[in-house]
Each structure stands twice: as structure tokens, then as C-alpha cells.
Amino acid sequence: MFQLLMSVHFSDPTWIFFVVLLIILLAPLLFERLHIPQIVGMILAGVLIGPHGLNILARDSSFELFGQVGLYYIMFLAGISMDTGAFKRNKIQVLSFSLMSFLIPFALGGLSAYYLLHLSVPASVMVSCVLSSHTLVSYSIVSRYALSRHQGVSFSVVATMVSLMLALFVLAGLAGSFHGHTGWRLWTQMILNCSCYVAALFFVYPRIIRFFFRTFSDDILQYIFVLALVFLSAATSQALGLEGVFGAFLAGLVLNRYIPETVPLMRHIDFVGNALFIPYFLIGVGMLINFNQIFSHPEGLIVVGVICVMAILTKWLAAWLASVIFQLGRDVCRMMTGLTSGHAAGALAMLMVGRELEVAPGQPLVDDTLMGAVVMLILVSCIFSAVVTTSASKRIAISSVSDEEKQGDEDRILVALANPRTTSNLVALALMMRPHRSTAPLVGVKLVVDAKDNERERDAAHQLVKEAAQLAASAGVNMKKVVRSGINLITALTYTMKDFDASELIIGYHQEVGRPSTSFDNVTVDLLSRISRQIIIVQCTRAVNTIRCIHVVVPQNAEYEAGFQRWLMHVSRLARQMDCRIIFYSTDRAWERIERFCNKHYKTIRMSHVTFNNFSRLTELSEEVHTDHLLVLIAARENSLSYQPAIRRIPELLADSFSQCSKMLVFPDQYGVEHKMSSFNTGFPSGN
């Protein structure tokens, strides 16, 4: 049987792709039963089928191409999923850990290579560059546990880029010294190129992204557009003498705030990367491992042992020091150790530079023994990284579910659909407001007037709710499709909410044709009189993922309303998903409760406060609210604690002063989060 396997070799591209897909399919199933992380299974499968194993597949150009794409994809996902708000608040801690993650392995690794392995100073510096840099091989693990925005992950992601850039600078200086100059010229050129490139990227890309997302809403077009930006950035970075992974990460960082984690586009990005590109990269890494080269030279085992031990020990030491100094906790320390201890093809790329540098004619700086040791480091560090990251992620995921997120079953959102042009924004808002771990489905409803000969309208209604359900499904969320007819559409909507026990209603802004915008229309008045659950009325002038700031206007005494916590949860989730600044305009007393709640449940959002006591002064904010901002008005029903007569004039104020920006009008829940009773009134209007 073994001889038969040794004789099998595929060179046809179709068979190669089939074998790779078979490994991607079966390896996780097999190694899951053995309680071994999936990425370890991919790497070991690559060792088995590669040219140094059974030689079933050769490491041809397809593995080079997909491997490069997979590496870029990992760094792109790290950038697009990173919690930039947490980084801005903790930048001193993050940068301190990044420097420790570079300096400790660089110093101790170089000393070990010089004194224990008796390498020359240039060779020891080369080893230091390899050990101080790392690759986020196990990033897909934290992504699978929904920890991409965890503090420890943000620390590790930034440390990856800082370590890589500093290692490249040192490597450039080392290469320059072999070419007859000190390397300062190269360092200066790299720093200048890096600075100009980053400045141009952060200036040009956001404008292109906002234009494209405002103009095109098709998910496939948006996905292709995003990939094009990523690889353009990576190619430009490489052309300037920087690593392509640096450009891919920066592209993800720029795209971060435009692609919330709950929208369908983000799910497409995750799916394609984890299904194809990243496994292809891991299999290609495994195919580099050559055990024969290492075990055929006894002295090579000593080199392997020293390099592997120092690589893991120094990264752990950096993570431990950071966790002690910044009080991050044991599990976060283990997570950072796992994420920053992985090495991949980037380490070999650095050594290839050393192969081209000669200490004497025909004698390269990096010999075969050192090359084989680093190849073995790739295998050992990837296995260690996967095992430690998986263990830490499990513990953190179990302990990090906040009380707010446990209330997911309370959020049963009903989306009232009317216009195909507004459907995508309404569904996107519902997805962003929904708790991340909630299992409750959304409900999409289209109301149809009960009359004869309206089959065409019914067909259009079914098509509309189907499209809305597809949008939700592409984000991994189930949406119940409802088409309900009735003589009185408000009554039909009321009973739909009752049937599904909906906790809130999201509806597009409605204004009767020819009616002056001086007060609420009959539809809104009727809704408010019949439904006591939270009602959110929305008018978006642009795609919600291009909104740059949220302004929340809170009336006096709103903190005493039963629904205060619910609407605060929703706008906080919006700010977190959009990764944008949120400004609360409220009384000082309300701000105390808002700040206390957000600091407990939403520490990562960027928020500020402006004292605001009079709702009638709403027009004074017109200069602060721009066209790419979202204005959220917390209104109130009549006879409620926070009701003010000026609330009646909201439509007039919006039409006069805020016609160009996106708007959201929230009528809070009258029963609060924990109330289990019926959420509906008798159905009789309370009067205007």
C-alpha cells in the first residue's frame, strides 16, 4: 500500500486542484476527531503529500501563487477585523508590546546564535531578524471564535506589522553592509517610501471606497472591488521595497470601517479566505518541510533545538511581560503568545537574502544547516501557535460573553419593507443592531392592501421579502418571510408584530405626498398609538457602511424611560459595527448613565458628549451634522416621561435643517428589556 502511494504523482492541474480540495475537505474532519487544530492538519497534510513526503504533488507555481494570496489574505483579514477604536485608546500599550515582541527575540535570539551556535555576527543578525518577525498563521482560529476585535488580538496584529517592518529595516542594513556601504542610505529610502506610501494610501483609498460603495450595491462587485484594492496595495508595497503583506494589512485597515462584521460582504470575505486561499497557503507551507535534510546531519538537530526554543521562549517572554505590566490576564497572555509565535514562508524569504550574500567566494552567509533549521521552525512554531491559540481562544470566548450579549433572545426585530431601493439599508441596519450571538431570526414583512385584482402587487411583495431574506442569509442570519394583506395596513402590521412577538419595528421614513412636513403623518401617529414596543423610523441618504459619525440627540428625562437601555444598546452596536465616532447630546444626568452603560458593555466605541437640554434647539446642530453623518433622534410618545411639545415638530425640523443627511427616529420601548407582557395597546388612538 505504501509503495502504491509512493508511486502516485499528479502533474495535471485539474488533479492537483482536486487533491488540494480533498485535503481541505477531509483534513479538518480527521484532525477534529483527534482534537488537533485544523491548521496543524493542513500543514501536516502538506508535509505528507509534498515533494519531501509521498511526493503526490509537486510544489508548483499554483502553490506559490495561492500561497502568496493566502498570506496576503491573512494580513488583510487581520486589518479589516481589527478593533481600531481599542488601538487608538491603548496605543501606548499596543506599541510597547510591539517593540517588546521585536526587541526581546532580536536580542536573545542573536546572542544565542552567536554564543551557543557559534555563528558569525552577520549570520547571528540574520537569525535575529527571522526570530523577531512572525506571521499570523493562527489568525483564522481567533476569527472562528469571533475574537477578531479582542484586545489581545489587536496587540498581536500590530506587533506583527511592527516586528516585520523593523526586521526588514535591519535586513536592509545588513545587505547594504555586504555591498560596500553601511546601509543607512537604504534605511532612509525605505522609511521615506513607507511614509509616502502610507500617507497616499490613507488619503486616496477612502475616497475611492466611499464613491464605489455609494454607487454600487451588488455584493459580487463589491467583493471584487475589495480584492482589487488589497492586491493593488500589496503590489505597490512590494514595488517600493516593502513586503506585500504590509500593503495587504494597510488595505484592510483602511477598509475596516467601511465593512462592518455583520454585513453580507464581510461574510463573503471570510468565507472565500477560510475556504480556499488560507488552506492553500497552509498546505504550501507544509510542502516546504524536509525532515531528511534535518535528521541527516546530527549537528543540525542542535541548531534546530536552539532556534525553535528561542523563537517560542522569547515570544512568550514578550507576551508575559506585557500581560504583567498592563494587567491583561493569563488567557490573553497565552493568546498573544500563540498569535505571535508562528513563522511561515516569510522567514524563508529572509534567509534567501542571506543565501545571496557571500562571506567568501562560493560561501553564502546562510548555509544548508541553518536553512533546514528554519524550515523545521516553521513546522514546530505553526503547531505550537495553533494549539496555544486554540486553547486560549476557547477559554476567552466562554468567559467574554457579556450580560448585554446574553439578552440576544430579547431582540426580535421586525423589518417593514416597502421600497426595493431602501431594502438593503433597512436589512443592514437590522443586522448591525442585532446582538452578535443572537439566534433569533429577523422578520421581513411586506404589507399588501386586501383587494381584488392585486395579484401583481402580491407577486412583487413576495419577491421583495425574498430579496431581503437573501441579504440576511448572505450574512448568516435567518429571516422569516411574511407577506400580509389587510384593509387597514397598520392593523395588519400590528398583528404581525404580535404573531412573532417582535421586540421592535424598523420601518422606512414615510411622508404623505402633498402633505406639509410640519408634523407626523397619519401612519406614524397610528403606529405610535397601537404599538408600544420600540419603533425605529429610518431614512438613509447613502449606504450605511459609508457613514462616518453618529449624532444622538436625547431629550430630558429619557434616562427614566423603560426603553432607555434598549435604544442605547442599538445605537452603541451601530457605532461599534460602523467603527465610527458617536456623539451624545443630552443632559449631564443622562450622560452619566450612558457613559456607565457603554463603559461596561461597549468599551471599544469612541464616544463623546455635548450638554443639550432643550429639544427645540435641534436646528443648532445643523452645522455639526454633515451629509455623511447619521442623526439619531430619541423621541417620545405623548404622556411619557421624556415627551416635549417640540417633538411634534420633528418632521418640520428635519426637512428644514437636515434634509441631506441620514436620519433615524427612535420611539423607545414602553416596557423595557426584561418585560415579558404583551407589547401592544388596545388599538384605540390616544388622540393627537
Which CATH architecture best describes the domain 402-508?
3-Layer(aba) Sandwich (3.40)
Q: What does pTM read for this prediction?
A: 0.73
Q: What pLDDT, on a 0 to 100 scale, did the predictor assign at position 230?
A: 92
Q: 143-156: per-residue pLDDT in tens?
A: 878 787 788 888 88
- Decide yes or no: CATH 3.30.70 for domain 541-673: no
CATH of domain 2-57+64-399: 1.20.1530.20
pLDDT band at 687 (very low <50, low <70, confident <90, very high): very low
3-state secondary structure of 312: helix
User: Is residue 339 within a helix (H) or strand (E), and if so which, with residue range?
Assistant: helix 330-340
Q: 359-374: per-residue pLDDT in tens?
A: 677 677 777 778 778 8
Q: What pLDDT, on a 0 to 100 scale, did the predictor assign at position 684?
A: 34
Query: Grid coordinates representing 196?
Result: 509616502
Q: What pLDDT, on a 0 to 100 scale, did the predictor assign at position 409?
A: 46
Who contacts 665 (Cβ-Cβ below 8 Å, separation ≥6)?
509, 536, 537, 538, 632, 633, 635, 650
Q: What pLDDT, on a 0 to 100 scale, did the predictor assign at position 451?
A: 65
pLDDT band at 678 (very low <50, low <70, confident <90, very high): very low
Q: Indicate the pairing of strand 363-364 with strand 413-417.
A: unpaired
Q: How far is Cα 285 from Cα 304, in angstroms, rounded to an integer?
A: 17
Calculated CA dihedral for residues 611, 612, 618, 623, nearest 10 degrees: -10
Extents of the domains making up the chain:
2-57+64-399, 402-508, 541-673
**What's the mean pLDDT in 221-226?**
91
Q: Give how far Cα 620 sits from Cα of 111, 626, 645, 665, Å.
A: 64, 13, 18, 18
Contact call for residues 43 and 288 (beta carbons, < 8 A) = no
Contact call for residues 601 and 402 (beta carbons, < 8 A) = yes
Q: What pLDDT, on a 0 to 100 scale, did the predictor assign at position 649?
A: 78
Q: What pLDDT, on a 0 to 100 scale, did the predictor assign at position 29?
A: 80
- Can 2-57+64-399 and 541-673 be said to share one CATH topology? no
